[in-house]
Amino acid sequence: MNLRIILPFLLSLGLAPAQTRSVLYASTGPELARYDINTDSGTLVKRNTIRVPANIQYAWPHPSRRFLYVVWSDGGAAATAPGAAVAPRGKTHGAGAFRIDPRTGALEPAGPTIALPSRPIHITVDHTGTHILIAYNDPSAVTVHRLNQDGTIGAPVSQSGPLDTGVYGHQIRVHPTNKSAILVTRGNGPTKEKAEDRGALKIYNYANGALTNKDSIAPNGGVNYQPRHLDFHPAKPWVYVSLERQNKLELYTMTADGSFSPKPSFTVDSLADPARQVIRQIAGTLHVHPNGKVIYQANRSAAANPDGKAIHGGGENSIAVYSIDSQTGRPTRIQNADTRGAEPRTFALDPAARVLVAANQTAIPNATPASLVVYRVRAGGRLDFANKYDVDTTAGSLFWMGIVPLP
């Protein structure tokens, strides 16, 4: 039974399938912890921790669910306080494959690690499970590496020509057809010294690891446009995009040739009070519910004082919940669920969407610890708080977490 096919179908009918065993992974600095999840009780149990050479930036499972691919770096945001003016570029950047124990989810290194040219900020696996694609923010770039038959990381794929990679790549995704890939380039906001770096969605043709330039989507020429992450609707040609500095959610339509509509069909606010003046407020990642009826988006607020110490940003830390119109795809915000912490940088749903877990990245000294927050997901998509688990960030911030179903 193919869960990618049957789960959205059952959920669209309002039917909850039998519980799928999953495991949660969460990183603090270079450490990656494994947690058992009980989706009935909404509880987590920490099991063990492994360590990689530098701060974990992101991870992505193989479609077989037998391997987890992890990228790391000693540069970038994980190595500095939130909102700091300059993040270190670092010297240690790499990727590794880890074999997932099908019974417990325990991780074991699979093959040698590989060195990367600069800080990798995001990683994904194509839908055939034959290549990994890695996004870099400084300089903005994307590389593709073959995966060997045993799941280990193989040689890089040479590209036929230069790629349009914009400014500050933040996410790379492969379209469900496996025929195109999208690099989300965030750009940078304006400062006193320089104008903004414009953001865009860079779309490539994709075939067997090869990328070629196809299109660049940048409404208003990319001015005041800072896309951070996107996600695909499971059944419709709809792509939802989170705008970081603008605190917005946008909907684009995929065209027949694999590009996007040049402008969004809908743009909505992610915040409960968009007019509120705060020190720092940005939108984060997003995920579409498997049933295609709901979408979730993170709102983040934390900052740094003049000494570089993390402080509350004065704004909203929440998961925004939107209902999706089945005819137009229009998102309507129906809830902003407080994450009871600071900066939910990443969050994830279990495969059957029984629970959602948010990772509050930042520990505010003497105030708010980093944490994992578990919500039960109602039939209509709204979130009910279940449990909260403080996370020790001695090794580094709670930079990434994800949920992987076991084989």
pLDDT at 2 over 50: no
Neighbours of 119 (CB within 10 A): 28
**Sequence letter at residue 83:** G
Q: For residue 303, what are the contacts with CB-CB under 8 A and spacing of at least 6?
A: 82, 83, 279, 280, 310, 311, 312, 313, 314
* Distance from C-alpha of 304 to C-alpha of 342, rounded to nearest angstrom: 12
The predicted-structure confidence for 168-205, as pLDDT tens digits, reads as follows 999 999 999 999 999 999 999 999 999 999 999 999 99
pLDDT at 9 over 90: no
pLDDT at 312 over 90: yes
Q: What is the pLDDT of residue 19?
A: 58
Bridge partners for 243 per DSSP: 227, 248
pTM of this structure: 0.94
Q: Which residue has the higher pLDDT, 144 or 255?
A: 144
pLDDT at 126 over 50: yes
106 SS3 class: coil
Q: What is the mean pLDDT of the chain?
A: 94
> Exposed, middle or buried by CB within 10 Å (0-12, 13-18, 19+), for 332?
exposed
Q: What is the pLDDT of residue 5?
A: 46
pLDDT at 218 over 90: yes
The predicted-structure confidence for 245-257, as pLDDT tens digits, reads as follows 999 999 999 988 8
The predicted-structure confidence for 78-112, as pLDDT tens digits, reads as follows 888 776 767 888 999 999 999 999 999 999 999 99
Measure the CA angle with vertex 17, ends 335 and 254; round to 5°.
60
13 — pLDDT class (breaks 50, 70, 90): very low
Q: What is the pLDDT of residue 259?
A: 87
The CATH number of 25-405, from 1.20.1260.120, 2.30.30.280, 1.10.3720.10, 2.130.10.10, is 2.130.10.10
| Paired tokens of 314 | 């004065």
* Proportion of the chain above pLDDT 70, given as a percent: 95
Q: What mean pLDDT is predicted for residues 64-78?
A: 96
pLDDT at 29 over 80: yes
Whether the ω angle into residue 139 lies within 30 degrees of 0, i.e. cis, is yes
Q: What is the pLDDT of residue 7?
A: 52
6 SS3 class: helix
315 — pLDDT class (breaks 50, 70, 90): very high
**Sequence letter at residue 165:** T
Strands of 218-365 (E only): list them.
227-232, 238-243, 248-253, 266-269, 282-288, 294-300, 302-304, 310-312, 318-324, 331-338, 342-349, 355-362
Neighbouring C-alpha atoms within 13 Å toward the C-beta of 229: 20
Q: What mean pLDDT is predicted for residues 23-30?
A: 98
257: phi > 0 → left, psi -120 to 50 → alpha, else beta; which? alpha
